[in-house]
Amino acid sequence: MVRAHGLDTSAAAARERSVVAAMWTHFSSPEIQSRALYSLARMVLDDKARATLGRAGACEVVVAVMRAHSTDIFIQRSGVYVLAHLAHMPRNRRRLGHRARKLVLNRVREHPSDPMIQQWGVFALDQLTADWTREPVVRVKQWLVRCIFD
C-alpha cells in the first residue's frame, strides 16, 4: 500500500472513494443509492475502510441520502447500518455529529415495527454517543433510550 499526502492509494481505498463519489453524482437515484449503500455495508466492517470512507465523505453523503430518500425503507435500513459502523471510528463520530444522532433517532421512532432499523438504530445511537462519558451526558444517553422505547 502506497501513501501519498496521507491518503491510502490502494485499490480498496480507490473503490471506497469511488462509491462515495458515485453517491454524490447520482444523488437523486434511489436505485443507485440502494446499491451504493449495500456496497458500503460490506466495506464498513474494516477499520481501515471506515477511516478511508470517513475521509472520502461517506458520513456526509449517507446522512444526506437518508434525508433525501426518507420514504425508501431499504435506504433507511442500510443507512442506519452503515452509520452505526462508520461511527465506530472517533473521527467519523465527530463528522457525523448531532445531525446524524437526530436522524437515527427519528428513523427509530418512525419505524417501530422494523427490527433492522430498531437493532441497528440503537447500535448506531450507542456508537454516535460513545464519547459521552460525563455524568450529565450519561443521563442524556439514558433519555435517548427511553425516547426510543416509550
The grid coordinates listed for 47 are: 477499520
Q: Identify which of 126, 115, 49, 47 has the alpha carbon closest to the alpha carbon of residue 76.
A: 115
Looking from the CA of 128 toward its CB, the CA atoms found within 13 Å total 27
The grid coordinates listed for 40 are: 458500503
Domain boundaries, given as residue ranges, for the chain: 3-149
| Radius of gyration in angstroms for the set of CA atoms belonging to the chain, rounded to a whole number | 15
Is residue 3 over pLDDT 50?
Answer: no
pLDDT tens digits along 55-112 = 999 999 999 999 999 999 999 999 999 999 999 999 999 999 999 999 999 999 999 9
Q: What is the rounded distance in angstroms from the CA atom of residue 107 to the CA atom of residue 58?
A: 19
Q: Does domain 3-149 have CATH number 1.25.10.10?
A: yes
**Residue-wise burial string across 125-134, b where 16 or more C-beta atoms lie within 10 A, e elsewhere:** bebbbeeeee
pLDDT-based confidence at residue 132 (cuts at 50, 70, 90): low
The grid coordinates listed for 130 are: 460513545
Task: Name the average pLDDT for the chain.
Answer: 88
pLDDT-based confidence at residue 4 (cuts at 50, 70, 90): very low
This prediction has a pTM of 0.83
Is residue 10 over pLDDT 70?
Answer: yes
